[in-house]
Each structure stands twice: as C-alpha cells, then as structure tokens.
Structure 1
Amino acid sequence: MANQDVRTLVRDMYSAYEARDFSRVGDLIHDDVDWIIYGPKEVFPFVGPRQGKAAVLAALKDIATDYELNRYTPEITLVDGDRAAVMSDVSFTQKSSGRKLRFRLVNFLRFKDGRIVEFREFANTFDLVAQALGRELQV
C-alpha cells in the first residue's frame, strides 16, 4: 500500500470517529481486526483486546454511551508502508459525572485490503484515571 493511500485512510478513520459515524468507521475496519486499547478495565470497561469488527464497534459504541466526545484532533501522523502511528489531542466529557477529560493518546494501525487489521492504543492511563475519578492519585 502506498504511504499516501494509508494517510488518506487514517484521515478518513479519524474524521468518521470524530463525527461518531460508526457506519463509516465500520467500513474502514477489517472483519478480522485485532484491536487493543490499553488501560485499567476497572475504570474503563471498554478497554482490552477485541477480535473482529463487531466486537470493536460494540466497544466504540460503549465509549460513546459513557463519554461525549468534545474533540479528537490528530496532531502527528507517521506512515510507513501499511502502518501508521497517530498522536492525538483528545477531550471527552464523562456523562455520569460531567467531568472533562483531556489527554493525548497514540494509536498504531496496520492496514490490509484498505482497512484496519491491527490497532493498538496507548495513553497515560495514570493521569486519565485521576481525571475520570475526579481526584489526584496518591502514590
């Protein structure tokens, strides 16, 4: 896959996700996707591994149920062949508490047949947990 093709797919994916257009998001996810969002499941039940498009879309809809997306802005995108790395500035509002969560995260994606076949998401989960719980964590 050409770098420009992957860059276009990445742009389409993040645009669809920010618009909460899960139909378009689904079109960009491979049926056999291997997807992991790293984080503590006790605080964020939607994190962890997901296998297959249906499981990923269910997790994304769970996020949308619990969090209102305020902003999802990709700041840096690096592409190499069929792979991309994206750092984004993100802001959500936790619907249950009204707390605003702002953080940066990094995604690593691999594409096959024009769709995401592998996805990994990393964030500073210590900071994110503190924001979600509404208090600084004592360590």
Structure 2
Amino acid sequence: MNNQQSEKCVRTFIDSYYSGDVARMEQCCDDAFVSVTYAPVEIFPHLGLQQSKAWIAKAIQIQHERYSDRRHTIDFVVADETQAATFVQATLTKRSDQRVITLNVGEFFTLRNGRILEHRSLFDTFDLVQQLLGRDLTGEFAARLKNAMRQ
C-alpha cells in the first residue's frame, strides 16, 4: 500500500510542473533539491543535472516558451516514506507549428521528511527528437551506425 503523504507530494509535484505552478511545485521540494533528467544536454540544456529549486522556475519557463499546451496523465505511482516511482504520459503542443508531441516519462523520487530531495527522470529522447523534427530518423541513423556496430 502506498504512503499517502509521499504519493500526494509526488502527484502535486508532477501536476504543478505541467500546470506551470512554480510556487506549488517548490513547496513539495526539500531545500537541498536535486533533479537529474537523463537526456542529451546539447539538445535539452535545461535538463541533465540540476541542483536547487531554481531549476523549477527555469524548466517551467522553457516549457511554457516552447509549448502552448501541456497535458499529462499519471499512469501509476508507487510510493513509500522515502522513495516513489511514477509513469507519466505527457502530451505537448509545440508553439511554433502546433505539432502534438507525446512521450512517456519514468520518474523516480527520493523523499526526506515528506518532501522531494531527489528527482530523476528519463524518456525516449530519440523518439522525442523525431517528433520535434516531424520526421523518422531511424533509417538515416541505422545506415550511419551499420558499420560502427561491426567489430
């Protein structure tokens, strides 16, 4: 059975991110908050390792600048007093061309005293880049990597 306080904290954190509520999101976080999103920072410079709550406002601002609509569904939450994991389906609408982007995000949390100390997330960055560009890159990459995979 889930720890209700931890589950509520994690759900509030995620809901606040997609709704753009910086203050509410920060309230869920410990003062020593750290976030790590496993994504190429050359493409997504606001992701990667981020230390401090200041990242929250920056990340929300960048998302707001890039996407006119951000929706999400939390498929599940597993939480105890100190750890939680979620699976989120996100739908983003690009501001520049109204293209709808969908991605599945795995998020993992470490909690301390009922607040999020550490947030880790990952998603299929290759798929996201293809959606952002509006074209399939699989064939192009497969041809380039064919020889690299041989010994």
Shift of 1:18: 2.9
Distance 2:71 2:80 in 1: 26
Structure 2 match to 1:106? 106
Normalising by structure 2, we get a TM-score of 0.82
Distance 1:69 1:20 in 2: 11
> What is the SS of the residue equivalent to 1:68?
strand
Structure 1 match to 2:25? 25
- 1:6 corresponds to 2:1: no
Corresponding letter in the other structure for 1:43: I
Distance 1:129 1:57 in 2: 23
Corresponding letter in the other structure for 2:111: F
Structure 1 match to 2:66? 66
Distance 1:93 1:123 in 2: 17
Distance 2:45 2:132 in 1: 13
Q: Name stretches of at least 5 consecutive residues in structure 1 with no aligned partner.
A: none
Distance 2:116 2:19 in 1: 18
Tell me if structure 2 keeps the 8 A contact 1:50–1:56. Answer: no
Distance 1:97 1:21 in 2: 25
Tell me if structure 2 keeps the 8 A contact 1:31–1:53. Answer: yes
Tell me if structure 1 keeps the 8 A contact 2:81–2:114. Answer: no
Corresponding letter in the other structure for 1:119: H
Bigger Rg, structure 1 or 2? 2
Structure 2 match to 1:50? 50
Q: Name stretches of at least 5 consecutive residues in structure 2 with no aligned partner.
A: 142-151
CA separation of 1:81 and 1:113: change in aligned 2, threshold 3 A = closer
More strand by share: 1
Tell me if structure 2 keeps the 8 A contact 1:109–1:120. Answer: yes
| Per-residue deviation, residues 66-90 of structure 1 (Å, max 9, x unmatched) | 1233311100111133111000111
CA separation of 1:89 and 1:59: change in aligned 2, threshold 3 A = same
> What is the SS of the residue equivalent to 2:46?
coil
Identical counterparts, % of pairs = 31
Distance 2:30 2:61 in 1: 17
Shift of 1:26: 1.4
Shift of 1:135: 1.0
Tell me if structure 1 keeps the 8 A contact 2:81–2:111. Answer: no
Count of residue pairs the alignment pairs up: 138
